[in-house]
Structure 1
Amino acid sequence: MRILRDALRKAGHVAALTAVFLSASAMAQPYVASNAAPRLSPAAATAVCGDASILNGPSTPPAGAITVPAGDNSSFNFRQAGKVFWFAPGVHKLGTGIYSQIIPADNSVFIGAPGAVLDGQHTNLYAFTGQATGVTIEHLTIQNFGAADANNNEGVVNHDAGHGWTIQYNTVQGNAGAGVFVGSSNTLKYNCLTGNGQYGFSAYEPDGVSNVVIDHNEISYNNTYRWETASPGCGCTGGGKFWATNKAAITNNWFHHNHEGPGLWADTNNNDFDIENNVFSDEENSGIIYETSYNALIKNNTFLRTAHTAGPDNPGFPTSAIYLSESGGDARVPARYQTIAITGNTFIDNWSGVVIWENADRFCNSPANTSSGDCTLVNPAVVNLSTCVAGTIDKAPYYSDCRWKSQNIQVTGNTFSFNPSNIGSNCTADNGCGWQGLLSNWGTYPSWSPYQGDVIEQAITFNQANVFSGNTYVGPWQFMVEDQGQSLTPAEWQAAPYNQDAGSSFH
């Protein structure tokens, strides 16, 4: 698919690319709770769900493996280090207790035969738990763990974020909470993560997560419980979410039809992300939200029809395919990159394109910071919760370093194609449809904030090295700059004092 996409982009055939994905979307079916994953079109990105050639495991036990028969496995001894367990075809259950679960030992391997299903009966909360290292789980269907409203901010597979786990070739569906929890040095590849109650996957450890690979997965129809509706403002939904993760590769995945939240959300002090060659399609919200985080490469992805649900619900502010919120490049936070580079991506009929935003009232120790208890990463020995306070924050280095900055962001060499008639009659500029954005708000809060007034509006627009250039625009794009009251035509956007999108073309 990537080869096809690149060829179409080079040829300028945006319409042809649109047709490919429109066809693929029409063939994709919504999640239906059953033993079988929904069948999705192989024409669209990494289509894993329902593909037996990817998901089916060995039909006979590997040499030396311990056979796990179908049926009640509640008394089976899974806690054997270095052993291989082969699950025979059929449905496997773990008993009737809410904490009936598999607790692996170090370096154990769990393999499913074709048709092997581990079923939580909506009674057991978790499938695989504990702090074992080096665990491998593959070729299993893991489903129905937890009741609909259970497991909030918890995971079913690798519940305790064990290190060095490899989770591959599985179908994880119809579970409460996150289908998979991701810990340090975890690899998650070629899985179908679909129809789970909160996320397809989530990454969190109290001391932070590091060195994560998310590759060639299909992540779809998650947040079936609609946690944002159940707990308004929780910021706790989507396809996959990262917290405080350092160094992650998110490559070759297909995120689609996830509910309420974005396809991919990195929230609070994430750093060093490589997000390449993914497809984000038909997400109710943005494709990517990168929030109060640092240093990333977002390259060669396709964004198609994102935010068509969330966009109309937030009129006046452009809900975009990529939303950068208080995030930017900073060389003081060690990473492969020292900027946030958004390059070589294709955007087709999203509610809006790329919005770079910084909340003037959100900084370390501000009551307006929803990530309470967290501070910036740039100078932690000096700048922290005890020093970003009234009487100090208006002085150097606190004035600069107590603030997460949307800075050093390069939006270059992308194709933005937008036809309002393909989106619907509610796609109007007044509703926030069809915008690129580089803006902040008028600072007001708290009373001791040194960032009141237009301080941050001016900084993000003129002084923080945020540059759009060399892009291709198709359609009636507008540009929101400084604050929500400023709208520019392409010519005004390119002219002084903004001087943006040098070398870009408008059609």
Structure 2
Amino acid sequence: MTWRRPDESRADATSLPAGRRRRRWALTAALVVGLAAADAFSPRPIDSSAQPPRASAVTTTDPARASRCVADAGVAIGPEDDAQTVLDRHPPGTTYLVEAGIHLRNFAVQPKSGDVFCGEPGAVLDGERRLRSAFSGGALDVTLDSITVREYESGRQGGAIQPDARATGWVVRNITAVQNSWAGLLASDGMTILGGHYNDNDQMGVGGNATTGILLDGLDTDPATIDGPELADNHALHAPCEFEGGGMKWDVGQVVIRNAHVHDNDCRGLWADINAHDALIEHNLVEGNHAEGIYYEISRTGVIRDNRVFRNGLVAPAWNGGGITAASSSDVEVSGNRLSGNQNGITGTQQDRPEATPPPHLLDRFHVHDNLICATPDGGTPTGVTADNSADLAARDITFTANTIQSAACE
């Protein structure tokens, strides 16, 4: 194949944060090992004509995913009630029925351990940009189910749903968190997020700040359906994309993200940062995000497989605008993905990162194999790695094997 360098004028015009130098692509065949021709692509065949999976009827196969809510069961919280006053009258482990209607400026609670909150159809918690969060505090094993949470003024790096980071065991099922001032949800340790919509928030859909053991997944266990969380149309209204924004950003901890639809965010789609580790990102549909689709930055030990990644990085490419990019990260495997129409395909980058915490953040043990990469625009790069600090990437364990590259789209 022919290597191409991204447009120099666009790279020069990109604004980078202080301490980060502009990088220019320096791709050589020595850094990319064994790109396969299409007729040699056999270990993990991908049907390029097939359409990506779309949501279909929910078939719950795992009892843990089923709703714990029963119609008309539980202590009622009406639209005119002060929700915390209702909670204060009942012991831990109470089930509450959040009644239909708009709960305006009166729902800001700290649950007790074991509490369950079930929303009737049409139950909307509206903070009117006056309340910081709908749910917060350190209670364990709280369940939220089928409630809309909107217009909360959570403040910088806050969320409309924001338990304490060590508040373990929360299950957030079929929640809609929209139009909040920073994030719709900030996860806590061991949180399970099933289905739902985290859309049109000022900065980000879901965040994970130094939390671990997070699962985002579908309402069923079938990877052929996209019924996991929708992370879409989130903006960058209060901070630049280089700081925080997009569908989901997490750091330090371990996550599993599958069956999610991550699309049309003003920043990155899925973004691991600062010592994230042991991530499994699979069976997601990631499309139309303004910067990278999946970005694994100064982190380690990740598996990114069997995702559909389309048309990312085209509106405002952040540095490289890759469909999938590992940035100064180690022990990352990227396999079985289908990419089409991204500014760049699957890429790796190396920078000096003096602001990062140990261990050293090196692009190393980066293995890219058995992917289908289609319709990379002129000036883009289907596969490759680059460094802006003169690192000898040829001496690192970086391999690209059995990938297929084609000019036609494969969405």
Q: Where on the TM-score scale, by shorter chain, does this alignment land: which range?
A: 0.7 to 0.9
Q: 2:5 aligns to what?
A: none
1:463, distance to aligned residue in structure 2 (A): 1.9
Quickly say closer, same or farther: Cα 1:470–1:219, change in 2 above 3 A: same
Q: Secondary structure at the match of 1:437?
A: strand
Q: 2:222 aligns to what?
A: none
1:232, distance to aligned residue in structure 2 (A): 4.0
Q: 1:279 aligns to what?
A: 285
Identical pairs, percent: 24
1:356, distance to aligned residue in structure 2 (A): 0.5
1:114, distance to aligned residue in structure 2 (A): 0.9
Task: Quote the Cα distance in structure 1 between the aligned partners of 2:343 and 2:213.
Answer: 33
Q: 2:383 aligns to what?
A: 436
Q: Is the Cα contact below 8 Å between 2:292 and 2:320 reproduced in 1? A: no
Quickly say closer, same or farther: Cα 1:436–1:318, change in 2 above 3 A: farther
Quickly say closer, same or farther: Cα 1:355–1:200, change in 2 above 3 A: same
1:269, distance to aligned residue in structure 2 (A): 0.5
Q: Which aligned pairs between 1:124-163 and structure 2 lie closer than 5 A?
A: 124-146=131-153, 151-161=155-165, 162-163=167-168
Kindly indicate whether structure 1 or structure 2 has the higher relative contact order, using CA contacts under 8 Å at least 6 residues apart: 2
Q: 1:354 aligns to what?
A: 346
1:419, distance to aligned residue in structure 2 (A): 5.6
Q: Is the Cα contact below 8 Å between 1:57 and 1:113 reproduced in 2? A: no
Quickly say closer, same or farther: Cα 1:69–1:476, change in 2 above 3 A: closer
Alignment pair present for 1:184 and 2:189: yes
String of CA shifts for 1:108-133, please: whole Å, max 9, x gaps: 00000111111112211211011111
Task: Quote the Cα distance in structure 2 between the aligned partners of 1:137 and 1:89.
Answer: 15
Q: 2:87 aligns to what?
A: 78
- From 406, 413, 417, the counterpart of 2:370: 413
Q: Is the Cα contact below 8 Å between 2:138 and 2:163 reproduced in 1? A: no
Alignment pair present for 1:92 and 2:103: yes
Q: Is the Cα contact below 8 Å between 1:46 and 1:217 reproduced in 2? A: no
Q: Is the Cα contact below 8 Å between 1:275 and 1:298 reproduced in 2? A: yes
Quickly say closer, same or farther: Cα 1:284–1:57, change in 2 above 3 A: farther
1:346, distance to aligned residue in structure 2 (A): 0.3
TM-score (norm 2): 0.79
1:59, distance to aligned residue in structure 2 (A): 7.6
Alignment pair present for 1:268 and 2:225: no
Q: 2:300 aligns to what?
A: 294
String of CA shifts for 1:83-128, please: whole Å, max 9, x gaps: 0000111112343xxxx71110111000001111111122112110
1:141, distance to aligned residue in structure 2 (A): 0.8
Task: Quote the Cα distance in structure 1 between the aligned partners of 2:242 and 2:177.
Answer: 24
Can you give the 5+ residue segments of structure 1 that lack an aligned partner in the other structure? 1-8, 22-42, 49-53, 330-339, 377-402, 421-427, 444-453, 478-507
Task: Quote the Cα distance in structure 1 between the aligned partners of 2:46 and 2:346.
Answer: 20
String of CA shifts for 1:175-221, please: whole Å, max 9, x gaps: 111101101111011111111111111011xxx32211111111111
Task: Quote the Cα distance in structure 1 between the aligned partners of 2:309 and 2:234.
Answer: 18
- From 34, 54, 71, the counterpart of 1:44: 54
Kindly name which structure, 1 or 2, has the bigger radius of gyration based on alpha carbons: 1
1:61, distance to aligned residue in structure 2 (A): 1.9
More helix by share: 1
1:243, distance to aligned residue in structure 2 (A): 1.2
Task: Quote the Cα distance in structure 2 between the aligned partners of 1:347 and 1:416.
Answer: 5
Q: 2:40 aligns to what?
A: none
Q: Secondary structure at the match of 1:71?
A: coil
Q: Is the Cα contact below 8 Å between 2:324 and 2:347 reproduced in 1? A: yes
Q: Which aligned pairs between 1:314-393 and structure 2 lie closer than 5 A?
A: 318-329=320-331, 340-359=332-351, 361-362=352-353, 366=354, 369=355, 371=356, 374-376=357-359
Quickly say closer, same or farther: Cα 1:309–1:280, change in 2 above 3 A: same
1:234, distance to aligned residue in structure 2 (A): 4.8
Q: 1:391 aligns to what?
A: none
Task: Quote the Cα distance in structure 2 between the aligned partners of 1:151 and 1:44.
Answer: 35
Quickly say closer, same or farther: Cα 1:234–1:47, change in 2 above 3 A: farther
Q: 1:200 aligns to what?
A: 205
String of CA shifts for 1:360-402, please: whole Å, max 9, x gaps: x32xxx3xx2x4xx222xxxxxxxxxxxxxxxxxxxxxxxxxx
Quickly say closer, same or farther: Cα 1:82–1:244, change in 2 above 3 A: same
Quickly say closer, same or farther: Cα 1:46–1:202, change in 2 above 3 A: farther
Task: Quote the Cα distance in structure 2 between the aligned partners of 1:412 and 1:75.
Answer: 53
Q: 2:61 aligns to what?
A: none
Task: Quote the Cα distance in structure 2 between the aligned partners of 1:295 and 1:464.
Answer: 16
1:160, distance to aligned residue in structure 2 (A): 2.6
1:46, distance to aligned residue in structure 2 (A): 7.9
Q: Secondary structure at the match of 1:103?
A: coil
Residue type at the aligned position of 1:44: R
Q: CA RMSD in A?
A: 2.6
Alignment pair present for 1:475 and 2:407: yes
More strand by share: 2
Quickly say closer, same or farther: Cα 1:412–1:406, change in 2 above 3 A: same
Task: Quote the Cα distance in structure 2 between the aligned partners of 1:354 and 1:234.
Answer: 20
String of CA shifts for 1:27-61, please: whole Å, max 9, x gaps: xxxxxxxxxxxxxxxx635899xxxxx99996832
TM-score (norm 1): 0.64
Residue type at the aligned position of 1:211: G
Q: Is the Cα contact below 8 Å between 2:321 and 2:342 reproduced in 1? A: no
The number of residues matched between the two structures is: 348
String of CA shifts for 1:285-310, please: whole Å, max 9, x gaps: 11111111010111100001111112
Task: Quote the Cα distance in structure 1 between the aligned partners of 2:100 and 2:188.
Answer: 29
Q: 2:215 aligns to what?
A: 213
Residue type at the aligned position of 1:237: G
Task: Quote the Cα distance in structure 2 between the aligned partners of 1:13 and 1:129.
Answer: 45
Q: 1:69 aligns to what?
A: 78
Task: Quote the Cα distance in structure 2 between the aligned partners of 1:214 and 1:134.
Answer: 17
Task: Quote the Cα distance in structure 2 between the aligned partners of 1:46 and 1:417.
Answer: 26
Task: Quote the Cα distance in structure 2 between the aligned partners of 1:347 and 1:112.
Answer: 38
Q: Is the Cα contact below 8 Å between 2:125 and 2:149 reproduced in 1? A: yes
Task: Quote the Cα distance in structure 2 between the aligned partners of 1:138 and 1:324.
Answer: 35
